[in-house]
Structure 1
Amino acid sequence: MSRIVGYPPADYVTPPFPALYWPPQTQQLDGSLYYLSDIWRFTLLWTITIFAIVHLICASVALAMQIGNKQTNWLYMGSVPIIYCIVAGVEALFAGSIVGLV
Protein backbone atom coordinates (compact mmCIF):
# COMPACT_ATOMS: atom_id res chain seq x y z
CA MET A 1 0.00 0.00 0.00
CA SER A 2 1.52 3.30 -1.01
CA ARG A 3 1.64 6.19 1.36
CA ILE A 4 0.33 9.58 0.27
CA VAL A 5 3.07 12.18 0.50
CA GLY A 6 2.40 14.67 3.26
CA TYR A 7 -0.43 12.65 4.84
CA PRO A 8 -0.15 13.02 7.79
CA PRO A 9 2.49 15.75 7.94
CA ALA A 10 5.88 14.76 9.28
CA ASP A 11 5.50 17.05 12.29
CA TYR A 12 1.97 15.80 13.11
CA VAL A 13 0.99 15.98 16.76
CA THR A 14 -2.49 15.11 17.99
CA PRO A 15 -4.27 18.35 18.87
CA PRO A 16 -5.04 18.70 22.58
CA PHE A 17 -8.53 18.27 23.98
CA PRO A 18 -11.00 20.18 24.11
CA ALA A 19 -10.73 21.53 20.57
CA LEU A 20 -9.06 20.73 17.32
CA TYR A 21 -7.94 24.32 16.95
CA TRP A 22 -7.68 26.28 20.17
CA PRO A 23 -5.43 29.33 19.70
CA PRO A 24 -4.30 29.69 23.34
CA GLN A 25 -2.99 26.11 23.37
CA THR A 26 -1.50 25.55 19.93
CA GLN A 27 0.86 27.29 17.55
CA GLN A 28 -0.09 25.35 14.45
CA LEU A 29 -3.04 26.15 12.20
CA ASP A 30 -3.74 22.55 11.24
CA GLY A 31 -6.27 21.10 13.67
CA SER A 32 -6.95 17.89 11.78
CA LEU A 33 -7.13 14.38 13.15
CA TYR A 34 -5.44 11.78 10.96
CA TYR A 35 -5.63 8.54 12.94
CA LEU A 36 -8.75 6.55 13.75
CA SER A 37 -7.81 6.26 17.42
CA ASP A 38 -7.49 10.05 17.69
CA ILE A 39 -10.85 10.59 16.01
CA TRP A 40 -12.53 8.01 18.24
CA ARG A 41 -11.02 9.48 21.44
CA PHE A 42 -11.97 13.05 20.50
CA THR A 43 -15.56 12.07 19.65
CA LEU A 44 -15.92 9.92 22.75
CA LEU A 45 -14.65 12.62 25.13
CA TRP A 46 -16.97 15.26 23.70
CA THR A 47 -19.93 12.87 23.72
CA ILE A 48 -19.31 11.94 27.36
CA THR A 49 -18.99 15.63 28.30
CA ILE A 50 -22.22 16.67 26.59
CA PHE A 51 -24.21 13.63 27.77
CA ALA A 52 -23.02 14.09 31.36
CA ILE A 53 -24.11 17.74 31.40
CA VAL A 54 -27.54 16.95 29.93
CA HIS A 55 -28.12 14.00 32.27
CA LEU A 56 -27.07 15.99 35.35
CA ILE A 57 -29.54 18.72 34.38
CA CYS A 58 -32.24 16.06 34.06
CA ALA A 59 -31.26 14.62 37.45
CA SER A 60 -31.55 18.10 38.96
CA VAL A 61 -35.06 18.44 37.55
CA ALA A 62 -35.96 15.00 38.92
CA LEU A 63 -34.70 16.03 42.36
CA ALA A 64 -36.53 19.37 42.18
CA MET A 65 -39.79 17.53 41.46
CA GLN A 66 -39.45 15.76 44.82
CA ILE A 67 -39.51 18.99 46.84
CA GLY A 68 -42.55 18.92 49.09
CA ASN A 69 -42.96 15.14 49.00
CA LYS A 70 -42.64 12.78 51.95
CA GLN A 71 -39.33 12.49 53.76
CA THR A 72 -39.04 8.81 52.79
CA ASN A 73 -38.65 9.73 49.12
CA TRP A 74 -35.43 11.59 49.90
CA LEU A 75 -33.83 8.40 51.22
CA TYR A 76 -33.23 7.18 47.66
CA MET A 77 -32.87 10.51 45.87
CA GLY A 78 -29.10 10.61 46.41
CA SER A 79 -28.73 7.73 43.98
CA VAL A 80 -30.55 9.54 41.16
CA PRO A 81 -27.55 11.65 39.95
CA ILE A 82 -25.28 8.61 40.21
CA ILE A 83 -27.64 6.46 38.15
CA TYR A 84 -28.07 9.24 35.59
CA CYS A 85 -24.28 9.60 35.26
CA ILE A 86 -23.87 5.85 34.76
CA VAL A 87 -26.59 5.86 32.09
CA ALA A 88 -24.95 8.89 30.42
CA GLY A 89 -21.58 7.11 30.39
CA VAL A 90 -22.98 3.96 28.81
CA GLU A 91 -24.96 5.92 26.22
CA ALA A 92 -21.94 8.10 25.43
CA LEU A 93 -19.70 5.06 25.08
CA PHE A 94 -22.00 3.54 22.47
CA ALA A 95 -22.86 6.77 20.64
CA GLY A 96 -19.32 8.15 20.71
CA SER A 97 -17.85 4.87 19.52
CA ILE A 98 -20.30 4.48 16.68
CA VAL A 99 -19.87 8.06 15.47
CA GLY A 100 -16.12 8.10 16.05
CA LEU A 101 -15.49 4.85 14.21
CA VAL A 102 -17.83 5.51 11.30
Structure 2
Amino acid sequence: MVSYNTTTEVPTDYITPSFPSLYWLIGPPDVVQPAFLYHIRDIWRFTLFWTIIIFEAAHLAVALYAVVIVWWGGRKPSSKAGTGRAAGEKEKREVEDVGEVKSGGGLGKLKVLWIVPVVYVVVAGVEAVLAGSVVGLMLGAIYNAGGFKMSTWIPFVWSIISVLVLILSSFSIQGGL
Protein backbone atom coordinates (compact mmCIF):
# COMPACT_ATOMS: atom_id res chain seq x y z
CA MET A 1 0.00 0.00 0.00
CA VAL A 2 1.33 3.41 -1.00
CA SER A 3 1.09 6.22 1.50
CA TYR A 4 1.03 9.81 0.34
CA ASN A 5 1.84 12.75 2.55
CA THR A 6 -0.86 15.26 1.61
CA THR A 7 -0.66 17.38 4.72
CA THR A 8 1.65 20.33 4.45
CA GLU A 9 2.31 21.73 7.86
CA VAL A 10 2.52 25.47 8.20
CA PRO A 11 6.12 26.37 9.10
CA THR A 12 6.53 27.67 12.63
CA ASP A 13 8.28 30.81 11.37
CA TYR A 14 5.62 31.45 8.71
CA ILE A 15 4.66 35.06 8.14
CA THR A 16 2.03 35.90 5.56
CA PRO A 17 3.83 37.49 2.61
CA SER A 18 2.99 41.08 1.81
CA PHE A 19 0.87 41.74 -1.26
CA PRO A 20 1.71 41.11 -4.16
CA SER A 21 4.85 39.02 -3.34
CA LEU A 22 5.25 37.79 -6.91
CA TYR A 23 8.70 36.35 -7.30
CA TRP A 24 10.83 35.68 -10.36
CA LEU A 25 10.32 32.02 -11.26
CA ILE A 26 13.53 31.54 -13.23
CA GLY A 27 16.96 31.78 -11.67
CA PRO A 28 19.37 30.15 -9.27
CA PRO A 29 17.86 28.82 -6.04
CA ASP A 30 19.81 31.29 -3.90
CA VAL A 31 18.28 34.24 -5.81
CA VAL A 32 14.68 33.02 -6.15
CA GLN A 33 12.76 33.56 -2.92
CA PRO A 34 9.39 31.83 -3.35
CA ALA A 35 6.44 33.02 -1.33
CA PHE A 36 3.65 30.67 -0.33
CA LEU A 37 0.18 31.00 1.14
CA TYR A 38 -1.15 28.49 3.66
CA HIS A 39 -4.31 29.93 5.18
CA ILE A 40 -7.71 30.32 3.51
CA ARG A 41 -7.92 33.96 4.59
CA ASP A 42 -4.60 34.78 2.88
CA ILE A 43 -5.54 32.91 -0.30
CA TRP A 44 -8.90 34.68 -0.40
CA ARG A 45 -7.31 38.09 0.22
CA PHE A 46 -4.66 37.71 -2.50
CA THR A 47 -7.23 36.45 -5.00
CA LEU A 48 -9.62 39.27 -4.14
CA PHE A 49 -6.95 41.97 -4.50
CA TRP A 50 -5.64 40.63 -7.80
CA THR A 51 -9.17 40.24 -9.17
CA ILE A 52 -10.04 43.83 -8.24
CA ILE A 53 -6.87 45.12 -9.91
CA ILE A 54 -7.30 43.09 -13.11
CA PHE A 55 -11.06 43.76 -13.42
CA GLU A 56 -10.61 47.50 -12.84
CA ALA A 57 -7.85 47.68 -15.45
CA ALA A 58 -9.89 45.77 -18.05
CA HIS A 59 -13.05 47.80 -17.43
CA LEU A 60 -11.16 51.09 -17.44
CA ALA A 61 -9.56 50.23 -20.79
CA VAL A 62 -12.98 49.45 -22.27
CA ALA A 63 -14.49 52.62 -20.76
CA LEU A 64 -11.72 54.79 -22.19
CA TYR A 65 -12.21 53.17 -25.58
CA ALA A 66 -15.96 53.90 -25.38
CA VAL A 67 -15.30 57.53 -24.38
CA VAL A 68 -12.89 58.02 -27.28
CA ILE A 69 -15.37 56.52 -29.76
CA VAL A 70 -18.28 58.65 -28.54
CA TRP A 71 -16.14 61.79 -28.31
CA TRP A 72 -14.74 61.23 -31.80
CA GLY A 73 -18.24 60.66 -33.18
CA GLY A 74 -19.59 63.75 -31.43
CA ARG A 75 -17.26 66.14 -33.23
CA LYS A 76 -18.46 68.24 -36.14
CA PRO A 77 -17.46 66.77 -39.50
CA SER A 78 -15.14 68.82 -41.66
CA SER A 79 -16.42 69.97 -45.01
CA LYS A 80 -14.74 68.57 -48.09
CA ALA A 81 -14.28 70.44 -51.32
CA GLY A 82 -16.88 69.34 -53.89
CA THR A 83 -16.69 69.27 -57.64
CA GLY A 84 -18.62 72.17 -59.03
CA ARG A 85 -20.74 74.82 -57.45
CA ALA A 86 -23.97 72.80 -57.12
CA ALA A 87 -22.22 69.85 -55.51
CA GLY A 88 -20.36 72.16 -53.10
CA GLU A 89 -23.57 73.86 -51.99
CA LYS A 90 -25.32 70.53 -51.46
CA GLU A 91 -22.39 69.21 -49.44
CA LYS A 92 -22.23 72.41 -47.40
CA ARG A 93 -25.95 72.13 -46.64
CA GLU A 94 -25.53 68.49 -45.48
CA VAL A 95 -22.60 69.42 -43.25
CA GLU A 96 -24.61 72.23 -41.70
CA ASP A 97 -27.54 69.88 -41.07
CA VAL A 98 -25.27 67.34 -39.40
CA GLY A 99 -23.55 70.13 -37.47
CA GLU A 100 -26.89 71.29 -36.06
CA VAL A 101 -27.74 67.81 -34.85
CA LYS A 102 -24.26 67.28 -33.42
CA SER A 103 -24.07 70.61 -31.62
CA GLY A 104 -27.59 70.42 -30.24
CA GLY A 105 -27.96 66.96 -28.72
CA GLY A 106 -24.33 65.90 -29.14
CA LEU A 107 -22.86 68.66 -26.99
CA GLY A 108 -24.88 67.52 -24.00
CA LYS A 109 -23.74 63.99 -24.69
CA LEU A 110 -20.12 65.08 -24.61
CA LYS A 111 -20.57 67.02 -21.36
CA VAL A 112 -21.69 63.93 -19.43
CA LEU A 113 -19.20 61.57 -21.04
CA TRP A 114 -17.12 61.44 -17.85
CA ILE A 115 -19.88 59.31 -16.27
CA VAL A 116 -18.99 56.30 -18.44
CA PRO A 117 -15.64 55.50 -16.77
CA VAL A 118 -17.13 56.08 -13.34
CA VAL A 119 -19.96 53.61 -14.00
CA TYR A 120 -17.55 51.06 -15.49
CA VAL A 121 -15.22 51.31 -12.48
CA VAL A 122 -18.11 50.84 -10.02
CA VAL A 123 -19.47 47.85 -11.97
CA ALA A 124 -15.98 46.36 -12.18
CA GLY A 125 -15.57 46.71 -8.41
CA VAL A 126 -18.82 44.89 -7.68
CA GLU A 127 -18.02 42.14 -10.19
CA ALA A 128 -14.48 41.79 -8.83
CA VAL A 129 -15.59 41.48 -5.22
CA LEU A 130 -18.10 38.78 -6.14
CA ALA A 131 -15.80 36.84 -8.50
CA GLY A 132 -12.70 37.27 -6.34
CA SER A 133 -14.49 36.12 -3.21
CA VAL A 134 -16.00 33.04 -4.82
CA VAL A 135 -12.80 31.99 -6.60
CA GLY A 136 -10.60 32.84 -3.61
CA LEU A 137 -12.70 30.85 -1.15
CA MET A 138 -12.88 27.90 -3.54
CA LEU A 139 -9.11 27.95 -4.07
CA GLY A 140 -8.50 28.21 -0.35
CA ALA A 141 -10.85 25.33 0.41
CA ILE A 142 -9.32 23.12 -2.30
CA TYR A 143 -5.73 23.82 -1.30
CA ASN A 144 -6.44 23.36 2.41
CA ALA A 145 -8.41 20.16 1.80
CA GLY A 146 -5.46 18.76 -0.13
CA GLY A 147 -2.98 20.07 2.39
CA PHE A 148 -1.02 22.00 -0.23
CA LYS A 149 0.86 25.25 -0.03
CA MET A 150 -0.05 27.83 -2.67
CA SER A 151 2.35 29.97 -4.63
CA THR A 152 1.48 33.66 -4.69
CA TRP A 153 1.28 33.39 -8.49
CA ILE A 154 -1.87 31.23 -8.34
CA PRO A 155 -4.27 34.04 -7.25
CA PHE A 156 -2.79 36.30 -9.95
CA VAL A 157 -3.34 33.67 -12.64
CA TRP A 158 -6.89 32.96 -11.46
CA SER A 159 -7.76 36.66 -11.58
CA ILE A 160 -6.63 36.75 -15.21
CA ILE A 161 -8.70 33.63 -15.90
CA SER A 162 -11.72 35.33 -14.29
CA VAL A 163 -11.44 38.43 -16.48
CA LEU A 164 -10.97 36.29 -19.59
CA VAL A 165 -14.13 34.34 -18.71
CA LEU A 166 -15.94 37.67 -18.27
CA ILE A 167 -14.73 38.87 -21.68
CA LEU A 168 -15.63 35.58 -23.34
CA SER A 169 -19.11 35.61 -21.80
CA SER A 170 -19.75 39.06 -23.27
CA PHE A 171 -19.80 37.61 -26.78
CA SER A 172 -22.86 36.02 -28.25
CA ILE A 173 -21.78 32.56 -29.30
CA GLN A 174 -24.24 31.02 -31.68
CA GLY A 175 -23.80 27.71 -33.30
CA GLY A 176 -25.89 25.35 -35.23
CA LEU A 177 -26.11 23.88 -38.64
Contact 1:14 1:33 in 2 (8 A): yes
2:96 is aligned to none
Residue 88 in structure 1 maps to residue 93 in structure 2? no
| Secondary structure of the corresponding residue to residue 44 of structure 1 | helix
Higher helix share: 2
Larger-Rg structure = 2
| Secondary structure of the corresponding residue to residue 77 of structure 1 | coil
Paired residues for 1:1-102 under 5 Å: 7-21=9-23, 29-66=33-70, 67-69=72-74, 70-102=106-138
Q: 1:28 to 1:8 in 2, by over 3 A?
A: farther
Paired with 1:20 and 1:94, the residues of 2 have a C-alpha distance of 23
What TM-score does the superposition give when structure 2 sets the normalisation length? 0.49
| Secondary structure of the corresponding residue to residue 118 of structure 2 | helix
Deviation at 1:37, TM superposition (A): 0.7
Structure 1, unmatched stretches of 5+, are none
In the TM superposition, structure 1's runs of 4+ consecutive aligned residues that sit over 4 Å from their partners are: none
Contact 2:59 2:121 in 1 (8 A): yes
Structure 2, unmatched stretches of 5+, are 1-6, 26-30, 75-105, 139-177
Paired with 2:135 and 2:49, the residues of 1 have a C-alpha distance of 12
The sequence identity of aligned pairs, in percent, is: 46
- Stretch deviating more after TM superposition (92-101 or 70-79): 70-79
What TM-score does the superposition give when structure 1 sets the normalisation length? 0.82
Would you say how many aligned residue pairs link Structure 1 and Structure 2?
96
Q: What letter matches 1:8 in structure 2?
A: V
Structure 1 vs Structure 2 CA RMSD: 2.3
